[in-house]
Amino acid sequence: MESVIFSNNISFDLSKYLNQMGYSQLGVISDSNTAKFCYPIIGSLLPENHKHFSFPAGEVNKNLTTCTQIWQWMTDVGFDRKALIINLGGGVTGDMGGFCAATYKRGIRFINIPTTLLSQVDASVGGKLGIDFNGFKNHIGVFTQPELVLISEIFLETLPLEELRSGYAEVLKHGLIQNADYFSCLKINSWEKQNWREIIEKSVQIKREVVEKDPKENGLRKILNFGHTIGHAFESFYLDSEKHLLHGEAIAVGMICEAYLSHKKSGLPKDDLKTITEALTEIYGIFKFPETDIDGIIQLCSQDKKNEGSTVNFSLLRRIGNCDYNITANTAEIKEAITYYQTLSSQVPLNQ
């Protein structure tokens, strides 16, 4: 597993670990937002001859076109196999920057410095790297561990509130799949008033415990995908539209839909379904979309990476804090779950 450092002093810790690692050249990969708000925090700590590549922010740019630009940049500046990359940014930067480093010259070392709540509690830990392909989320990728993950809540101060809220969806997911007490302690009405250091450390601990038991997602690690089969489908379907969803917003939709599937297929108690639905809609509201979009969203579920052949596999809850995996659902069942979510806007009682 990667080494995760929770830093109280990013200047001291980054300088310390760079001095220990040894490298021929140093490069920083960021998106345009991180280049503006986060790169100045660490730029002066790096050797003067370091190189910096920035790409336009947004999930829509997490693709092979941008990868080609990154690989060309690495080639043009002459990075050899002893070069070191720092991925400074959110999940998109960590996923894509790590993927490019892991494949350049068959792999060079990289460090992740996650700058969003989402990437600190989820994307930076576990060695999953990848990019989107032809509208399919994280369709191309590899498993490669970073040399180091350096987490500092100082970067959260650079985030707009909606990005912080997006990341909180993964925090809630960690409680739902693995720790009911953790979920019950998380703030719903005043979610933004957290001890973020404690929250991040607890979520990273939960995720690492799962990943260490199943590094390549052959079994248990699949529970980390709760909410993601349908959630990714929503995110991908609306990626290029005016109704674009942030990752956490889409996962919140997916978790409500998959909680409904859990109630139908895994015995999740009705009261737990009600608790999950109310908690998530309190924070994220209800995303409204036309019924005519549902078939297209379901079609995207068929490309989820947990699937086997033509069967759509889900990770579903038995109860809050207990998740199972490899549970199949057919198209009619998925449609029923999405319809359940859609009816929330008219406040239909939970009496199924």
Q: Tell me, what amino acid is at 54?
A: S
* Residue 242 is among the residues annotated as catalytic for this protein: no
Instruction: Give me the catalytic one of 137, 225, 249, 258.
Output: 225
Instruction: Give me the catalytic one of 51, 109, 128, 305.
Output: 128
Instruction: Give me the catalytic one of 232, 249, 263, 313.
Output: 232
* Residue 52 is among the residues annotated as catalytic for this protein: no
* Residue 247 is among the residues annotated as catalytic for this protein: yes
* Residue 170 is among the residues annotated as catalytic for this protein: yes
Instruction: Give me the catalytic one of 173, 207, 263, 305.
Output: 207
Residue among 48, 351, 37, 326 nearest 163 (CA): 37
Instruction: Give me the catalytic one of 202, 228, 263, 305.
Output: 228
Helix (H, G, I), strand (E, B) or coil at 237: helix
Instruction: Give me the catalytic one of 62, 165, 247, 305.
Output: 247
Q: Contact at 8 Å (CB) between 136 and 304?
A: no
| Rounded-to-integer distance, Cα 149 and Cα 313, Å | 31
| Rounded-to-integer distance, Cα 282 and Cα 289, Å | 18
* Residue 335 is among the residues annotated as catalytic for this protein: no
* Residue 192 is among the residues annotated as catalytic for this protein: no
* Residue 208 is among the residues annotated as catalytic for this protein: no
* Residue 232 is among the residues annotated as catalytic for this protein: yes
Instruction: Give me the catalytic one of 217, 235, 249, 258.
Output: 217
Instruction: Give me the catalytic one of 59, 163, 170, 258.
Output: 170
| Rounded-to-integer distance, Cα 228 and Cα 159, Å | 23
Kindly give, in sequence order, each residue whose CB lies less than 8 Å from that of residue 292, ignoring residues fewer than 6 positions away. none
Q: Contact at 8 Å (CB) between 150 and 13?
A: yes
Residue 59 has which token pair? 């999930």
| Rounded-to-integer distance, Cα 145 and Cα 110, Å | 9
Question: What is 102-131 written as a DSSP string?
Answer: HHGGG--EEEEEE-SHHIIIIITSS-EEEE
| Residues shown for the chain | 352
Instruction: Give me the catalytic one of 137, 165, 221, 222.
Output: 221
Rounded to whole angstroms, what are the CA distances from 266 to 193, 225, 261, 305? 34, 16, 8, 21
Residue among 183, 351, 189 nearest 255 (CA): 183
* Residue 228 is among the residues annotated as catalytic for this protein: yes
Which residues in 155-189 are b (16+ Cβ under 10 Å) and which e? bbebbeeebbbbbbbbbbbbbbbbbeebbeebeee
Instruction: Give me the catalytic one of 19, 49, 106, 189.
Output: 106
Q: Which residues are catalytic?
A: 106, 128, 170, 207, 217, 221, 225, 228, 232, 247
